[in-house]
Amino acid sequence: ETGVTQSPTHLIKTRGQQVTLRCSSQSGHNTVSWYQQALGQGPQFIFQYYREEENGRGNFPPRFSGLQFPNYSSELNVNALELDDSALYLCASSSGAGKGGEAFFGQGTRLTVV
């Protein structure tokens, strides 16, 4: 157990719809990052939030957006869902301070777009 919780665990959406995924970070962690993992691939970095501000983004279109709240929990929003958005979405939290702090991952949300 890492203390990082994600909800929901599974979700089925229709192409064109919007989805919101949630992540509660580990106590004491102020940095949350999101990853997309397609079947058979390694996780791909979407973006990262540090103290409620986005401070890094991977190669994902603007329809992928996020928020971080004062308690450091976070949301990932995806608009205009496409079939290729079907994947495991992972949230990771870390202290983000100093060198060497590892990231702790949640169990992920499995999104299926039909």
d(CA 105, CA 92): 4
Q: Residue 82: helix, strand or coil by DSSP?
A: coil
d(CA 23, CA 85): 18
d(CA 93, CA 28): 9
> Is residue 48 a contact point for another protein (CB under 8 A)?
yes
Q: Given the complex with another protein, which of 14 and 102 has the nearer CB atom? A: 102
Q: Given the complex with another protein, which of 41 and 79 has the nearer CB atom? A: 41
> Is residue 61 a contact point for another protein (CB under 8 A)?
no
> Is residue 28 a contact point for another protein (CB under 8 A)?
no
Q: Find the binder of another protein among 18, 97, 112, 114 (CB under 8 A).
A: 97
